[in-house]
Structure 1
Amino acid sequence: EHATGDQHEHHEDRTTRFYRKWMSKLVVSRKRSLIFFGVVALALVASLALVGIGWVKVKMLPFDNKNEFQVIINMPEGSSLERTVEASREIAQAISVEPEVVNYQIYAGTSSPFNFNGLVRHYFLRRGEHVADIQVNLLPKGDRSAQSHDIARRVRPKVHEIAQRFAARVAVAEVPPGPPVLQTLVAEIYGPTDSSRVQLAREIRKIFDSTKGVVDVDTYLEDDQRKLTFEVDHEKAALHGISADQIAQTLRVAVSGMQVDIAHRRQEREDIGLVVELPRSRKTSYSDLLNLRLRSPHGELVPLSELVTVKEEIVDKTIYRKNLMPVTYVIGDVAGEIESPVYAIEAMNKKIAALNARTFGGTQSKLKVYNASMPFTDLEPSMKWDGEWHITIEVFRDLGLAFAAVLVLIYILLVGWFRSMVTPIILMVVIPLSLIGILPAHGAMNAFFTATSMIGFMAGAGIVIRNSIILIDFAELRLSEGSSLADAVIDAGAVRFRPILLTAGAVVVGAGIILFDPIFQGLAIALIAGEVASLIISPVAVPLLYYMVNRKRLSARPQTAPATDSESTGA
């Protein structure tokens, strides 16, 4: 036989009696119910406002804690290898004094061994005397207290100070957990002509440089590089009996050297090539090469200057294209004051809006800025944000659409189970209320709201729905047994609170394992804080909302006043 509220409260604990007392007051007073939901709505709005004011920051993925990072060095085009090595060594020595640094390796004139950064940022394609990489290895994670991101942020000012003396462009590249993009901040510049596109790219770079928190700014613009072409005077060469191939081979040996033999040594694993070339002191300028002499078939020594003329040109610059349209890239990273590209781009968009597109060959004054789509044509100057921002938009958009589709499916299933169009809405309306716990928890722990946080929110929504189903199903069971609507909803929250508490406890314990993992911290915070918020709000909000919606429909049923705390203790 079913026990009514005042009969089964003899063995209830203090928490349950407290719940019955206050729930009874909310049920009997419509004004108090509206005040409760008003407070909950205000708390939700305040939590969402934390993102707007910047206390909770949004980012695609948080910074990982790795045992390495790189310093990418780009000297001015045309710099000698010796100058590049000098700058690299000075930067490496400044980094080596950090207590967490174990060792480093300099790669001058070539790229470092293939790694994740080399794959997605094309570092493995770097060649030339003006480029260098410094691979920095750190202590294992357990032997240091500082995160690799904090170490990289600490050394960046010293690295940039040295780079400025050498007129070099540098980037402290951390191994990212993702996404695989060219750089954190990437601005793609399109325009009708090369000159207008270059001009716009330089203005965008100035905006990058003037924005707080934006570091490691660089462009894919190349400096002018001289090219010397030795044109053979075929008439003079024929008079001396010297062929053009002989002249070309002489220049090749003088500049690059030529292997003439190999040497075998026992202590060496491989043969050693014997290369003949001019010493560096004899080939510092093209006039040194013109003083070389070639032997003619007649035995005379003919200076190279009599056989060739030197023509100086500018080397053709690399042309980058995307979707068959010429593009110029401006790249940068975020560190220090702003460590999420969302807020850096927001600040830069305000400055970009002040640019006049007519200055860069446009027919309209407003410069078009794209985010998730590409410009259709390059006849008008435009700019597109790429990099981590583009991936962030796509990921959160796709997660949101997937979540919406799942909610529709859940609604359909609940309609079939409860045979009501309204009850599923009551069950699902509490899903966003978990943000009351999730967003403040992210701010309190100084953690980014990331894609993993979004996944945690979505996963927690399933548990919230499950708790709501338990409450409503129990309330309808009480109604079928003859209880009044008021007693049914109060009993649902009082009796089913313990299973909900156990579920929340299991989630907290399970997610606590990854709470301090740098990548999955957002997932843990969302699960833990979301379940705690749901544990507090759902046992009150769901039954109370069910009561308010169904009160008139069930008014014909025999109603009894809800059992109060004084009545139950006196029974």
Structure 2
Amino acid sequence: ITGRIGQVMLALPLVVISVLIASLVECFLILPGHLRHSIKHGSKSPSRFRRWFDRGFGRFRDGLFRRFVQLAYDWRYTTLAATNAVLIVTIGFLMTDRIKFHFFPQPPTEILRARIVMGAGTPREQTIKAVKMVESALAEAERKLGKGEKLVVSSFAKLGKLGYSQGNHLAQIDVQLTATESRSVHTNAIIRAWREALPKIPGAERISVGGRRSGPGGRDLDIRLTGKDIAVIKRAAVELEELMSNFPGVQDTADDLPYGKQDVIVTLTARGKALGFTTQIIGEQLRNAFEGAIARRFARNAEEVTIRVLQKKNGRGIQILRDLYLKSPSGAHVPLLEVVNIREKSGFSIINRRNGKNVISVTADIDLKVSSGGEVQKALERKGLPEIARKYDISYRFAGRSEDRASAFANLKLGGAVALVLIFIVLAWVFASYSRPFIVMIIIPYGIIGAILGHLVMGFALTILSIIGVLGLAGIIVNDSIILVSQVDERLGRGESMAAATVGAAQDRLRAVLLTSLTTIGGLLPLMFETSLQAQYLLPIAITMVFGLAVSTILVLIIVPASLGVLDDLARVLGKRRSGSEKPLLDHGGP
């Protein structure tokens, strides 16, 4: 996986691979010595509990469990149809949004942020007053919710800059909350209370309050609008913001092209042209009036000295222009207002260009309990966004987390395919058969049942980490299938029938299959109940593996025997079995 997701997840496979290599070393070099020592001193009789447990496990294995596997084998077509139906229904939960999918897990944040945008040209003192009013609203929310409990550790404000924009009308407040596990009030409740406590601030164009999102950078929704005329793109951005605000869960919509100070637009009139003025002449004289005209340059001590003549200015703002005189090409002095028209309009504080084109980013955060970035993106593409693009003759694309999501899914598809091919190659080499790996790997898709049901039971949304967990789960659940198929091979080699071999193999390897899965589940259970903020990022992986292993452990004991029986029936129909022989069903020739 490349990109920012790959950077976040890089440590996970490296640690897992290192641990597996260490376990191989322990298995082949250290474990034999331990076994030798335990066997030498293991002649004493089992304890009373061990004897009781073995008797009970034996009765279960040879009684209820044997009848269960025999029933699954006898009704193998019904068994496979039922398990496939469960798999389809489970995937349907995801496709119909019964269970949500969020790109990256978002545990409650401990840092809140308020963005304040006043009207362009607002004095710094007025912005400071607005900041104090927002901070007072936070203190009121803390008193209302905390009831004596400390919720805020510290807060600080930054004036004059907001993202890439600068100006005295901009401010930002960052708030550090107490640790999530040490307070009783949820972060979302604090954000809601802060928003409700905000007063109406005179001159404020936009005040947004939210939490700083963790994980890969970028907003939940980031739409890049591209076009020729920046003013047209701005109108499209404003319309898009209004459209996005109508979707449930979408909040703090904004764009990265804020209005700056007022621009003065000077237009040459017909009278001015008749007097010989041009746009260049007027521009040069206006620049000289405000910046000064260079009267002379001369060298002194190897340095160039510039003499600039400045005009004394009387008044402020646009009044200076109204009192200004220009010199015509004929030498006459004419009032500026006689040759030009002057008007004011709001300008932009910063303009972004990519590949020579004007670009505006329209962003928003999404309440993941209400909706998700994928849902809103699909809804916008279905209705609204294409119409805006056609109306203003602009193009658009989804960036930010949407871009990361598309890249990660593309990489996961390739990685999943490579992983399955590698598993098949290893199994084909070990079993010396091309067909055997398919029986072993048939259990892999059924791990999805446990993964999806686990997230549903635990109240978690599926994330990119859940999908990565499914890929890891595929490499684990085949272990149970390998154990079972190997025992079936051994029994078939002794001349047993397929029915007797599959049922007997399930009995023989029940303890091994359970131990293989339960030890992994036991190792992950502490993580399932961890409440720290850092553990919340790994919970989707833990849920996927714990529930996926739990479900696949049960299914492997019925799906593998049933699949072997179906394949044996198919071989009979195709005439690939010798009459009266009971050789192993699958080819034992080399690949």
Q: Do both share a fold (TM > 0.5)? A: yes
Say whether the 8 Å CA contact 2:236–2:388 is kept in structure 1. no
Match of 2:538? 520
Q: Distance in 2 between matches of 1:525 and 1:356?
A: 42
**Counterpart check, 1:170 vs 2:227:** no
Deviation at 1:192, TM superposition (A): 4.2
Match of 1:549? 567
- What's the RMSD between the two structures over aligned residues? 3.5
Match of 1:74? 117
Deviation at 1:422, TM superposition (A): 2.1
Q: Distance in 2 between matches of 1:234 and 1:222?
A: 27
The equivalences for 1:457-472 within 5 A come to: 457-472=470-485
Say whether the 8 Å CA contact 1:212–1:337 is kept in structure 2. no
Aligned equivalent of 1:211, options 244, 247, 251: 247
Residues 1:19 and 1:231: Cα distance change in structure 2 (over 3 Å): same
Say whether the 8 Å CA contact 1:230–1:311 is kept in structure 2. no
**Counterpart check, 1:35 vs 2:78:** yes
Aligned equivalent of 2:60, options 2, 11, 14: 14
Q: Distance in 2 between matches of 1:326 and 1:233?
A: 30
The equivalences for 1:389-404 within 5 A come to: 389-404=402-417
Aligned equivalent of 2:374, options 334, 342, 367: 342
Deviation at 1:218, TM superposition (A): 0.6
- What are the superposed Cα offsets for residues 483-508 of structure 1, whole Å, 9 maximum, x if unpaired? 22111111221121212211221222
- What are the superposed Cα offsets for residues 504-560 of structure 1, whole Å, 9 maximum, x if unpaired? 212222222222432111011001010011111011101220122134245645569
The equivalences for 1:265-414 within 5 A come to: 286=317, 315=347, 317-335=349-367, 338-352=370-384, 355=387, 357-361=389-393, 381-414=394-427
Residues 1:168 and 1:317: Cα distance change in structure 2 (over 3 Å): closer
Say whether the 8 Å CA contact 1:64–1:148 is kept in structure 2. no
Match of 2:159? 109
Residues 1:337 and 1:511: Cα distance change in structure 2 (over 3 Å): closer
Deviation at 1:226, TM superposition (A): 1.9
Q: Distance in 1 between matches of 2:291 and 2:386?
A: 58
Match of 1:421? 434
Say whether the 8 Å CA contact 2:473–2:548 is kept in structure 1. yes
Deviation at 1:245, TM superposition (A): 5.6
Q: Distance in 2 between matches of 1:10 and 1:63?
A: 46
Q: Distance in 2 between matches of 1:409 and 1:90?
A: 61
- What are the superposed Cα offsets for residues 280-326 of structure 1, whole Å, 9 maximum, x if unpaired? xxx9x549999xxxxxxxxxxxxxxxxxx998765565321234432
TM-score, normalised by the number of residues in structure 1? 0.73
Q: Distance in 1 between matches of 2:124 and 2:548?
A: 57
Q: Distance in 2 between matches of 1:200 and 1:436?
A: 44
The equivalences for 1:406-555 within 5 A come to: 406-515=419-528, 516=530, 517-551=535-569, 552=572, 553-554=576-577
Say whether the 8 Å CA contact 1:102–1:138 is kept in structure 2. yes
Helix, strand or coil at the partner of 2:224: strand
Q: Distance in 1 between matches of 2:464 and 2:516?
A: 24
Letter in 2 for 1:12: G
Q: Distance in 2 between matches of 1:529 and 1:485?
A: 31
Q: Distance in 1 between matches of 2:294 and 2:502?
A: 106
Match of 2:21? none
Q: Distance in 1 between matches of 2:351 and 2:111?
A: 33
Match of 2:336? none
Deviation at 1:126, TM superposition (A): 4.7
Q: Distance in 2 between matches of 1:547 and 1:205?
A: 60
Q: Distance in 1 between matches of 2:57 and 2:215?
A: 55
**Counterpart check, 1:197 vs 2:236:** no
Q: What 5-or-longer segments of structure 2 have no aligned partner?
A: 1-53, 265-285, 296-305, 322-339, 584-591
Residues 1:154 and 1:528: Cα distance change in structure 2 (over 3 Å): farther
Residues 1:554 and 1:323: Cα distance change in structure 2 (over 3 Å): farther
Q: Distance in 1 between matches of 2:90 and 2:58?
A: 34
Residues 1:184 and 1:505: Cα distance change in structure 2 (over 3 Å): same
Say whether the 8 Å CA contact 1:226–1:313 is kept in structure 2. yes
Match of 1:60? 103
Deviation at 1:139, TM superposition (A): 1.5
Residues 1:336 and 1:409: Cα distance change in structure 2 (over 3 Å): closer
Letter in 2 for 1:172: V
Q: Distance in 1 between matches of 2:291 and 2:451?
A: 80
TM-score, normalised by the number of residues in structure 2? 0.70
Letter in 1 for 2:237: A
Q: Distance in 2 between matches of 1:426 and 1:486?
A: 16
Q: Distance in 2 between matches of 1:48 and 1:91?
A: 46
Letter in 2 for 1:319: I
Say whether the 8 Å CA contact 1:63–1:149 is kept in structure 2. no
Deviation at 1:129, TM superposition (A): 0.5
- What are the superposed Cα offsets for residues 250-282 of structure 1, whole Å, 9 maximum, x if unpaired? 98xx9xxxxxxxxxxxxxxxxxxxxxxxxxxxx
Say whether the 8 Å CA contact 1:92–1:104 is kept in structure 2. no
Letter in 2 for 1:13: R
Q: Number of matched residues? A: 463
Residues 1:155 and 1:389: Cα distance change in structure 2 (over 3 Å): farther
Deviation at 1:408, TM superposition (A): 0.9
Deviation at 1:16, TM superposition (A): 4.3
Deviation at 1:132, TM superposition (A): 0.8
Letter in 2 for 1:59: H
Say whether the 8 Å CA contact 1:423–1:546 is kept in structure 2. no
Residues 1:397 and 1:209: Cα distance change in structure 2 (over 3 Å): same
Q: Distance in 2 between matches of 1:51 and 1:462?
A: 23
Say whether the 8 Å CA contact 1:20–1:490 is kept in structure 2. yes
Residues 1:195 and 1:310: Cα distance change in structure 2 (over 3 Å): closer
Q: Distance in 2 between matches of 1:514 and 1:101?
A: 26
Q: Distance in 2 between matches of 1:480 and 1:541?
A: 21
Q: Distance in 1 between matches of 2:111 and 2:235?
A: 37
Say whether the 8 Å CA contact 1:65–1:518 is kept in structure 2. no
**Greater fraction helix:** 2
Say whether the 8 Å CA contact 2:492–2:582 is kept in structure 1. no
**Counterpart check, 1:25 vs 2:80:** no
- What are the superposed Cα offsets for residues 120-158 of structure 1, whole Å, 9 maximum, x if unpaired? xx83x4532011111212112332134435533553454
Deviation at 1:38, TM superposition (A): 1.2
**Counterpart check, 1:89 vs 2:132:** yes
- What are the superposed Cα offsets for residues 407-442 of structure 1, whole Å, 9 maximum, x if unpaired? 011112222222332221121121110111111221
Q: Distance in 1 between matches of 2:291 and 2:125?
A: 37
Overall identity of the aligned pairs, in %: 23
